[in-house]
Chains A and B, each alone.
Chain A
Amino acid sequence: MISGPHLDPERLRAIAAGADVSDSEAEHLLDCDRCASATLDADGESCTALDTEIRQGFDAIAKQPSSWNAASEERVLSALLLTQAQQARRRSAQRTGAVVALLAAAAGVLLVLKGGTVPSVVPGAPIDLEHATAYPESGASLTVEQHGADEQIALAGTATFAVRKLSEGHRFRVLMQGDEIEVRGTKFTAVADAHGVRSVNVEEGRVEVRTRCCGLHVLSAGDSFNAEIARRTPGDSPTQLGSRTEPAAPSAVAKTSDSAGDAVANTDEPASSASAQNDPLPSSTSTGAATDAPTARSLMTQGTQAFDEGRWSAASSMLDRAVSLDPSAAWAKDARVLAGAARVMAAPVGAVASMGVGVASLDVAAQQAARRGDSRRAAAAKLGAARKLSGEAAKKRWCALANDGSLDSAGRSEARSRCP
């Protein structure tokens, strides 16, 4: 709809010569190509072909598809709804101090907020807490409580925490069914299930792990705590992945179970009676008594142990089977992550970056590889994980990698090119 009547030719010539236009004339000129063209042809020369070419260029740009797609829409909408819920929570808390629960639906992360902590979440992206940034994995549940300078996170599932340097008197604790991790300026990954803490991997700083089963463990950067192993070996504090020279029980299985695990995973042949007895993973086609069949939980435990011991094929086989037996278990997500990490560790380095495993698995594999001195694999896993991320999370990851000395020049170059 063109605004107002066409301008008369004399007026158009005056405008073309530089006369000011009124707002109403401007509205018409902006809507009316005919009059607008006349103002451009001040020298009397019509540029129809030129204008057509420019117009076609505009049309082509208008048709340009952006990188925006359905996935973008989901990510941003989820973040928006959470932001909006935060604001509502703030307002509500200011009025009533009420407890507000947020469901980070797209991330599958359950957040329960008490007190004054304010998270900021997009699916798969960090949550800003008072003293730390949490990176929950899908299925994780975080209950955040703030008691003055004391921030407590009740965790079920898996989350990585990057804790800021705390001031005197400030505390940051992660509580897991009565077990507790207290940190002071560090980065660590904690895994919890219904029984409490299951494992803790420390990337930076120091962490105190207080468990009901096994007392106090003080972990430094590079250390890991595994509750299952700690329960079996009381007093062995802390457990360090990759540093063990003798595998924990069943040690007799350590050298053979890997191949046995492969056999179970890759063939339909029943395992031999020896491997069924010794290997923590009896064949799924074993004709043994039902009471001898491993439970999902035991497979999970043994798969975790195999992972800790570097028996990657056995670990992935057992963990995959554990998940298939009880896919709805609280630990199933962690088992999938660990199984993926085990596959990354078992794969040729050249295939790591393009493997079809999740970011969490690649992150775990990168940590494992680094601890084991396999820097090429660690770098490949880091790059692979970064490539799977998008948006702000990807940006942060690439920028962190841009100065990562463990990457080769090509990796750092890629990271720098992707870090705005």
Chain B
Amino acid sequence: MAPPKLRAVLFARESVAVPQESDLVDGFIRGDRNAISSVFRAHGSAVAGFVARLGVHRDDIEDLVQSTFAEAIRVAPSFRAESSLRTWLLSIALNLSRAYIRGRIRARKGSELIEQTLPDIDVFDRSESPEGELASAQRVDRLRRALDELPELQREALLLCEIEDLSAKEVSEITGAPPSTIWRRVHDAKVSLRKIFRVPSGTSREQP
């Protein structure tokens, strides 16, 4: 644990002025410590949430986040600021997470991976009634299992569009695929989800 003084210098957000993103990018590219710290504080949590939802085990999230930013620092001079910092960082995180997840899939079943992304009961809005919480839990559990059945690229596209709430352009930048391809993946994923959701609910018709 850092001595209090150092911690105050390094981590006291209140004492750090928030610069514009363009200034941060310039500083980040130069390797400026303050800029790196600011970028990390601004986007570290988002990257962590992103890799967690992609299926990175909770014990490995810090490693993945660190790897993401370390890689970003390494390749920063090639960053052309054509996309936002967040998009750029998520694209790096995605590539690293893919390699990580594929490695784990080789060793374990996919369901275990997705299980790691499952929210605990505390995820749910405490303003909900116990019945509401239960319904939320069941809903998430169902969705989790449904996502598990999707092909990797479809699941990825769906997470980026529906959960990360990124625009088509951003998802396209992150994945490197054109918007039409992204849409097709999302569309196919949604069709699959509908099919999966219909079956256990007992309300669906027979599929041709």
Binding site for B on A (CB under 8 A): 3, 20-27, 29-31, 36, 39-40, 45, 47, 50-51, 53-58, 60-68, 72-81, 83-85, 87-88, 103, 105-108, 122-123, 138, 390-392, 394-395, 418, 420
Contact = CB atoms under 8 A, between A and B. Distances in A.
Given A56-B139, A84-B33, 8 more contacts: A22-B180, A23-B180, A47-B194, A61-B117, A65-B119, A74-B11, A84-B36, A420-B57
A4 B53 CA distance: 30
Contact of A61 (B3, B31, B143): B143
A83 B52 contact: no
A134 B104 CA distance: 29
Chain B at the A interface: SS class: helix
B37 A60 contact: no
Contacts of A76: 40, 44, 62, 65-66, 69
Interface string B106-143: 00000000000111001111000000000010011011
14 contacts: A20-B180, A26-B168, A30-B167, A30-B179, A30-B182, A30-B183, A45-B205, A61-B143, A64-B117, A72-B65, A74-B7, A75-B62, A106-B10, A108-B6
A23 B168 CA distance: 9
A85 B163 CA distance: 35
Contacts of B102: none
Contact of B62 (A30, A83, A105, A390): A390
A58 B162 contact: yes
Contact of B1 (A31, A53, A68, A138): A138
B61 A65 contact: no
Given A20-B180, A77-B44, A123-B1, A68 B65 contact: yes
Contacts of A73: 11, 40-41, 44-45
Interface in B142-178: 142-144, 161-165, 167-169, 171, 178
A58 B59 CA distance: 23
A26 B179 contact: yes
A87 B66 contact: no
Interface string B1-35: 11100110111000000000000000000010100
B27 to A, nearest CB: 12
A66 B37 CA distance: 21
Contacts of B182: 26, 30
Residue among B48, B144, B184 having the largest count of chain A Cβ atoms under 10 Å: B48
B190 interface: yes
Contact of A60 (B3, B57, B123): B123
B65 A50 contact: no
B81 interface: no
